[in-house]
Structure 1
Amino acid sequence: MTVPAPLRSRAIRLYKELLFLGRDYPHPQRFPWFRARLKRAFQGKASLTDPVEIEKALAHGDYGKREIEVFVF
């Protein structure tokens, strides 16, 4: 079973948005540390094919994005 195109594009957009927010992440190693963690998180979910599970993962990522926005800005 393949991933529907709208879900795939949402996941890519979420990844890019999180990557953009990670530039200002307040950690001693900053962006390289954040990018490695983000990549590992997305690779861990790469095998999902069920649209419901993908929606849950995207919702979790959106929540994380809001938390980072509050924390950074």
Structure 2
Amino acid sequence: MANPFRAEVKQLYKALLFLGREYPKGADYFRERLRAAFAKNKDMRDPDKIKQLISRGEFVVKELEALYYLRKYRALKKRYYEAE
């Protein structure tokens, strides 16, 4: 039986991998942690638990995007506004 969440999990993994390129501690650090997190849950069969893990992953995507936007905002603010 094929896992109905396989495509969604792969898409989440790719999105996180893409976002990890700019991670403050480095892409290699992020990739190792991401791989370990997905490997830890690779044998999960409970659909409700899988949905919960996917929603947690989507939350992490949103948090990373917010982190990057904040970093860019601070860089622009520092560049264009005088120190207070």
* TM-score normalised by the chain length of structure 2: 0.77
CA distance in 2 between partners of 1:41 and 1:68 (Å): 16
After superposition, the Cα gap between the structure-2 partners of 1:3 and 1:56, relative to the gap in structure 1 and judged at 3 Å, is farther
Q: How big is the alpha-carbon RMSD for the aligned residues of Structure 1 and Structure 2? A: 1.1
**Residue 61 of structure 1 pairs with residue 69 of structure 2:** no
Gaps of 5+ in 2: 70-84
1:39-59 CA-partner distances (Å, limit 9, x unpaired): 000011111001111000000
% of aligned pairs identical? 35
Q: How does 1:5-24 map to 2 (within 5 A)?
A: 5=4, 7-24=5-22
Aligned length in residues: 69
After superposition, the Cα gap between the structure-2 partners of 1:3 and 1:66, relative to the gap in structure 1 and judged at 3 Å, is farther
4+ residue segments displaced more than 2 Å: 2-5
**Residue 51 of structure 1 pairs with residue 47 of structure 2:** yes
* TM-score normalised by the chain length of structure 1: 0.88
1:21-72 CA-partner distances (Å, limit 9, x unpaired): 0001111xx0000000000000111110011110000000000110011012
